[in-house]
Structure 1
């Protein structure tokens, strides 16, 4: 049985840990509210922008000539995997990595065997996980979430777009955690390049539009912007999902610390009671020995 000093040290240590996890839960809850507002506001805009692109480009000759719509035989693949820069968020990061590995096994196994699958990691944890597996990580974007903005994400999107337009990649896919609520995050895989025609495009192709300033200028501006917004939405989704996962993980850790403290206090009281009983027995035994002397 552990000594009273050891049990007291463990109780103090777990008390300290519980205070830390409780504080981290509160911080994540505050950040989650802001992150949830950001993704909630962006989603309708991103959806409408994609719908507009599909509608406008359905009958636009300029859109079909865009380098971002050119479908090619898939030999070289770029996967953009969005994780976090920090841990302590449950299975958030490992789920994103597993989602990317599952996608490779299902769709790009032959390309992976040829060494033609590259990873662009947004988040340090993803980069570290793929590096440990010996996979090719061509770019790592860290500290994106410390000052999350469209400008930071745009740099990653432009890098992927340039690689696709130059023929270095034949397909670009994004893997990220979609935010549903604080307890639920769903792994999503979306094809970023080449652009896939939407279902509404066909029904809108017969409509005649008046373009101002011109069809070419509108489509040329709209396609790159939609691609960048698509990646930005994925990063915002992942950011909200990260804070939700961390809040849930820290809440569970706080509860577990409380349960462990109850057990340790019970052990402490039993050990203390046993020590007191032993001392009493020693005193009584000593007194009887003196009386019989």
Structure 2
């Protein structure tokens, strides 16, 4: 019977785990819907802003990006690593940390690399090996454009004053609830715009103020939007990954519970059979 009691305790424990993972799955599903709507609504705006900036820049002579497009010899790189503050989301965080390590080891072997982490999990893992200049774990508690713009402004200042020669974003791009794609995206300097010979740029417009002034005003806004979109992508990806992980955990717990119930019923049946045999054996002994 001790064995039966042990199995009963395990079944009770697994049922409790199932309730927790199922509740976490439902919470993540609700948060995912809101986060997915936000990133879906933002992508057309971000895409159109980039298109507008490219069309304007393509009609200008020389370096249209000003200080933000100045190409320098790369000796110091800043990587902005976006992870989550909480775990239980499958390989969401590990895929980003592995991508950072792989990039540093293969791409920036002879370059000084610093990190700015957004999300506690990435900072905890990477901080053991690499230099982290700042941790902004609080940003996901109030993920608004104005709060993200403050970080973007600081990144732009560090690039312009020469603190870093290159800045990259590392984050998970949201595709769907089950798929998140690790991305390494050049943030600064702004990549030169490539115009194909087969693509014509419509420049038959009158600009007020000048095109140069418009581009100068658009670039900081586009950079802030780019960072905000990356964080929104990561935020939606996190909830999608957690929902999927909790769904799998619930299914695995259910399968284990069913196996234990089968084992328990077999053990209980065997115990009852043994008791019957003992009773029958005792009755036969009394007759004799």
TM-score, structure 2 length as denominator? 0.93
Check the 8 A contact 1:99/1:187 in 2, yes or no.
yes
Displacement after TM superposition at 1:174 (Å): 0.6
Question: Per the alignment, do residues 165 and 60 of structure 1 end up closer, same or farther by CA in structure 2, a change over 3 Å counting?
Answer: same
Check the 8 A contact 1:28/1:244 in 2, yes or no.
yes
Unpaired runs of at least 5, structure 1: none
1:129 is aligned to 2:109: no
Displacement after TM superposition at 1:149 (Å): 1.1
Alignment match, 2:177: 182
Matches of 1:233 and 1:174 in 2, distance apart? 11
1:163 is aligned to 2:161: no
Alignment match, 1:12: 12
Displacement after TM superposition at 1:110 (Å): 1.2
State how 1:274-289 maps to structure 2 within 5 Å.
Answer: 274-289=270-285
Alignment match, 1:267: 263
RMSD: 2.1
Find the partner of 2:226 among 209, 230, 234.
Answer: 230
Counterpart of 1:189 in 2: which secondary structure? Answer: strand
Displacement after TM superposition at 1:216 (Å): 4.2
Check the 8 A contact 2:57/2:215 in 1, yes or no.
yes
Displacement after TM superposition at 1:40 (Å): 0.9
Counterpart of 2:88 in 1: which secondary structure? Answer: coil
Displacement after TM superposition at 1:129 (Å): 1.2
Alignment match, 2:137: 142
Counterpart of 1:109 in 2: which secondary structure? Answer: coil
TM-score, structure 1 length as denominator? 0.91
Counterpart of 2:114 in 1: which secondary structure? Answer: strand
Unpaired runs of at least 5, structure 2: none
Superposed CA offset, 1:168-215 (max 9, x none): 100001111111111111111110000012334985678354221333
Matches of 1:197 and 1:54 in 2, distance apart? 10
Find the partner of 1:239 among 235, 239, 258.
Answer: 235
Matches of 1:179 and 1:129 in 2, distance apart? 23
Displacement after TM superposition at 1:62 (Å): 8.8
Matches of 2:106 and 2:2 in 1, distance apart? 52
